[in-house]
Amino acid sequence: MKSPSEHSGSLPSSRHEERQKVIGPLDWEGPDDPANPWNWPASKRWYGTIVPGSLCFLVTFASSVYVPGVYQVAAKFHVSITVALLGISMYVVGLGLGPMFSAPLSEVFGRKMVYFVNLPIFLLFTVGAGLAQNIQTLVICRMFSGIFGGPAVAVSAGSFVDVWDLKSSGSAVSVQAIASFMGPALGPIVGGYLAEYEGWRWTLWIIIILGGALLVPLYFMEESYKPVILRRRALARGEELPPKPDPKTALKLIFTITLARPIMMLLKEPIVQAVALYSAFAFAVLFGFFEAYPVTFQKEYGFALGETGLCFLGIAGGLIIGCIIYLIQDRLVYIPALKKYNGSPPAEIRLVSAMIGSFLMPIGLFWFAWTARKDVHWISPVLAGVPFGCGLVLIFLTAIMYILEVYPPLVAASAIAALGLLRYIFAMAFPLFTVRLYNNLGIAWGTSLFGFIALAMAPIPWAFQRWGPQIRAMSRYNAIVE
């Protein structure tokens, strides 16, 4: 029989061994670890997809719902239309800046915390914009609203990656596309009737109502970010965590991934330059249409604000059809390629969607350009939005998926950040000059200018399809060659 001293001497040793169980990097406990979001039940995975997707929809919806009220804003504050449009342009600037601040927070606190902290602040600045008594307050509040809303757009993409293998889950990718583009497309429809019947301030109150409703489902959403899940589990078990990286080193890495490297890739990396330019132009034309449609349908057809907003249904329908086309080609082209190449098909397989979109977008633009006149029925330019919206979403989806195929994860994160940076710079600028462009060139030639640019960019996916391996071989950022 052992003495008490022997017993008491053995306990600290066993506890010390238990505390030392985790000494290396944290990871899942095998492929079937139930804590891994990829192993969650389907209902839980979709909940973790739809809630961030809805938040992304709200933030992008807020960018365009304001647009129908710009003429009222200009009259209220005695400013030009261009100045009133700063309410959308500075919001878009905020969307581009926000993710730079959210990245460090999501690394430390996880996705859910970023959503839950930023959403109320986003709503508070929206309240400030709605109560504004001068244009300066309105524009500044809109910009800060965008800064605190931007993380929802960037981090929601991370949530989708947490829960799904995006390379083999076309449905989840389509949710991301719908969340990113359906918001801007539906904003003018809702905003048109609100501005017409209730005034421009209601284009901001609707954001408050929808955002407040999202707080409840957001509260019940579980964290999906791997490092945070593993860290919390280790602490709950009393396990010792790996040593934390030096804060200066960690901040430098985050700064490199989210800002420094994206800018350098835009300046030096041909793959990122071409893909970012094409997808940013397509996205920016949508924002240009926020002003082109009122000029067209109110002046040419005499539509009211609400009726003008309904014309965006053509683009919205095109976005949905584009997602369906993407899912079909994903099932018919990419999934068989995964099997044929043992899970590693050539990156150029992803370009099929953009090759289709490269035809559809200029078709929609030229169709709109030359049928938007009084002697042609209004349904024709509305329907022209279908191929445009379809081409837009196919180009966007291809840009994201091709980057994921071409670069290793950390470099891909920087490349996608570069795409977002250029996209929001273009989206900021296009609404400011579109009205002047249409006034100087007219509807036909103003839209045709966009069409000719789209035609000039159309060969990009075809060139990558033909010479992709050679282009990847010239990469300065470790593009995957095989």
Domain 246-481 - what CATH class?
A: mainly alpha
Cα–Cα distance for residue pair 315/367, rounded to 1 Å = 13
Q: What does the pLDDT read at residue 379?
A: 95
**Higher-scoring residue by pLDDT: 242, 44:** 44
pLDDT at position 84 is: 93
Average pLDDT of the residues in 168-197 = 83
Q: Which range, of 81-90, 142-151, 256-265, 377-386, averages the lowest pLDDT?
A: 256-265
pLDDT at residue number 22: 46
Q: How confident is the model at residue 391 (pLDDT cuts 50, 70, 90)?
A: very high
Q: Is the pLDDT of residue 20 over 80?
A: no
Residue 9 pLDDT greater than 50, yes or no: no
The predicted-structure confidence for 456-476, as pLDDT tens digits, reads as follows: 999 999 999 999 888 888 888
Residues 394-419 have a mean pLDDT of: 86
Compute the average pLDDT of residues 296-301.
90
Q: What is the pTM of this model?
A: 0.85
Q: What is the pLDDT of residues 348-386, one digit of tens each?
A: 888 999 999 999 999 999 999 999 999 999 999 999 999
Secondary structure letter of residue 67 according to DSSP:
G
pLDDT at 175: 75
Pairwise pLDDT comparison (3 vs 298), residue with the higher score: 298
* 3-state SS record for 28-53: CCCCCCCCCHHHCCHHHHHHHHHHHH
| DSSP assigned state of 311 | T
Residue with tokens 């430098």: 252
> Between 259 and 279, where is the model more confident?
279
Which has more confidence, 409 or 184?
Answer: 184
C-beta separation of 112 from 222 below 8 A: yes
Phi, psi (rounded to 5 degrees) for 407 = -115, 155
Helix (H) or strand (E) holding 451: helix 409-457
* pLDDT tops 80 at residue 7: no
Instruction: Quick: pLDDT tens for 271-294.
Output: 999 999 999 999 999 999 988 999
pLDDT tier for residue 17 given thresholds of 50, 70 and 90: very low
Highest mean pLDDT among 343-347, 405-409, 424-428, 478-482: 424-428
Asked if the model's pLDDT at residue 394 lies above 90, the reply is yes
What pLDDT shows up at residue 330?
A: 85
* SS3 state of residue 168: coil
Domain-wise residue ranges, the chain: 38-229, 246-481
CATH topology of domain 38-229: Growth Hormone; Chain: A; (1.20.1250)
For the chain, what is the mean pLDDT? Answer: 86
The closest of 444, 290, 288 to 367, measured between CA atoms, is: 444
- pLDDT tens for residues 221-253? 999 888 889 888 888 888 777 777 666 776 777
Same fold, 38-229 and 246-481: yes
How far is 191 from 409, CA to CA, in rounded Å?
A: 39
Q: What is the pLDDT of residue 174?
A: 74
Residue 56 pLDDT more than 50? yes
Greater confidence, 283 or 14? Answer: 283
